Amino acid sequence: MHNNGIIAHSKDNVCTIVQELKAKDTIMIKDANREENFHVIQDIPCFHKVALVDIAKGKEVFKYGEVIGVASGDIKKGEHVHVHNVESTRGRGDRK
């Protein structure tokens, strides 16, 4: 089987999956620093993101080696990372 998770940058704590995964399916990742297989813990649509490590609430989420937002709750390794658990830090007129 091929890798089904793309890690854009070695600094990233999330990857993009290139096929739809169901809970307990195996995600296979490989980049310069790591090669690992682990289970996703819920159903995740194709091209969405999966946590590569536990990310605590308030910690930065990295993709492309850059900050794409901050965890709005504790995120477990293998969990779907999206709008329900990541907040943007930019354009936040609601926080004035």
Contacting positions for other proteins (CB under 8 A): 2, 6, 8, 16, 18, 45-49, 61, 63-64, 66-69, 81-83, 86-94, 96
Looking at the Cβ atoms of 39 and 82, the one nearer to other proteins is 82
Largest CA distance in the chain: 49
Q: Is the Cα dihedral 65, 76, 6, 43 positive or negative?
A: negative
Backbone angles phi, psi at 12, to 5 degrees: -70, 145
What is the smallest separation between the CB atom of 51 and other proteins, expressed in angstroms?
12
What is the smallest separation between the CB atom of 86 and other proteins, expressed in angstroms?
5
Looking at the Cβ atoms of 23 and 67, the one nearer to other proteins is 67
Rg (CA), the chain: 13
What is the smallest separation between the CB atom of 96 and other proteins, expressed in angstroms?
6
